[in-house]
Every structure is written in C-alpha cells, then in structure tokens.
Amino acid sequence: MVPNYQTEDKVLLAVDCIIFGFDEEDLKILLIKRNFEPEKGKWSLMGGFLKRHENLNMAANRILYQLTGIEQIYMEQLYAFSEVDRDPAERTISVAYFALINIKEHDKALIDKHSAHWFSVTELPDLIFDHSEMIIKAIRRLRYKTSKKPIGFELLPEKFTMRQLQKLYESILGEKLDKRNFINKINALDILIKLEEKDMNSSRKGSFLYQFDAEKYQQKVEEGFSFKL
C-alpha cells in the first residue's frame, strides 16, 4: 500500500437497488427481509458491497442477479448516500441504483426462489436505514424522466392496452390524467403499433392491444423530447 494512503480512513461502499415493477394497475417496489444484523428481519432494498475487482455498475448487476436471478435489465445509477451514521454497524457509503422490470415476466422466480415481495409505492412498510429516502429520490427521478423520454418499454408486457399505459403514467406521476389528452399526446409520439388483437377482459367490446415500435421508441429515447401531460 502506498504510504500516504495508510493514514487515511477506510470506509465500506455499498450498492442498493431500487427495483420498480408495474402490475398493470399500480407501480410497485421489490423488497426483501434482511437476514443479518443490524435490523435483521426488517424490510430492505436489495443490496450488497463493492468488491475490489468491480466498478459500481458491475457490482449493481452482480447484486441484482444474486438476489433476484435477473440480468440484462434497465438499470441506472441514482445517488450516493453518505451520512456518517446511516449504517450503525460500520461507516458505509451507499450508491443507489434503480431498475425497471416487467413483473409478469419475473414475478414467479422472485417470489418462489428469493423470498421477495412487491409493495405499492403508496403503501410501503418501514424500511431499514435510509432506504425510504432512496425510494423517494428514485420516484422523483422516474417522474422527471417521464417528461424527457417515453416510459413503459421495460415495465409493460409486450402487448398492452392504452388503459394500461395510462395507468402506468398515473402510477408514476401520482395523479389522474385526462384520458383524451393522454391518448392524443401518446399518439403524437408515433411510438406505438396498434394491433388487430383485443383484450376481452376489459369490456364486452374489448380494448385494442398495442406494442411499442422498438426502433422509433429507441430513437425518441436517444433524441429526448418534451412530454407535458
């Protein structure tokens, strides 16, 4: 070790993952019961510690895979949390990430194999340390992103109704949206493909199903846009 480094304080670096999912009605967050002290048995975000050979993105992906079995999903670095007393066991800095997943695609493996549980963003239990603050910041970031890029590709099933898409936006924004105005705004983006198929569970007449046009969607994401609802 370089001599000048020996006198410096050593701290742990944790990575915590805020995993958002959408069940076609409500925006949810995936939590687990912490299995070690301190705060053993309490609800927690999924997290772990950075290894010497890893960068932060590598650590976030490893932790997510180890705890959920999920890989190759959308994930973004959120914020660093460094309050001196945030972890009573050791001086620890945490870098939070948030991820977006399709609940239907991953739900069974998460519940059966990893003892995880989905909670509505409006009905969260008490969480350890500063994890509630992490979630608040992640929701704010997600809301901001709805004005800068299309949202839904990672959270919705491959085929979805316009109502499901509107419910997703309402869940993220925490407010009701005018149906006609929402449909007009979405159609103006030209990122949806209307299918001949219908979802017959929604009404007697059924509701047309849509898919995202992957190429146009990605182009909008890269270009950025203003989407005021």
Classify residue 101 as exposed, middle or buried by CB count within 10 Å of its CB (0-12, 13-18, 19+).
buried
- Per DSSP, the three-state class of 132 is helix
How many CA atoms lie less than 13 Å away from 143 in the CB half-sphere?
Answer: 13
**Domains and their CATH numbers in the chain:** 3-145 (3.90.79.10), 160-223 (1.10.10.10)
Backbone conformation region of residue 51, classed left if phi is above 0, alpha if psi is from -120 to 50, else beta: beta
Percent of the chain with pLDDT over 90: 62
Which residues partner with 99 through β-bridges?
Answer: 19, 75
For residues 174 and 185, the answer to whether their CB atoms sit within 8 Å is: no
> Whats the size of the chain, residue-wise?
229
Residues 48-85: pLDDT tens digits? 999 999 999 999 999 888 877 788 888 999 999 999 99
State residue 21 phi and psi, 5-degree precision. Answer: -140, 165
User: If you write DSSP's letter for every residue of 12-33 in order, what string do you get?
Assistant: EEEEEEEEEEE-SS-EEEEEEE
The letter for the amino acid at 88 is P
Q: Which of 150, 152, 168 is nearest to 220 (CA)?
A: 150
Average pLDDT of 169-189?
92
pLDDT tens for residues 8-61? 899 999 999 999 999 888 999 999 988 889 999 999 999 999 999 999 999 999
- Rounded CA-CA distance 188/7 in Å is 60
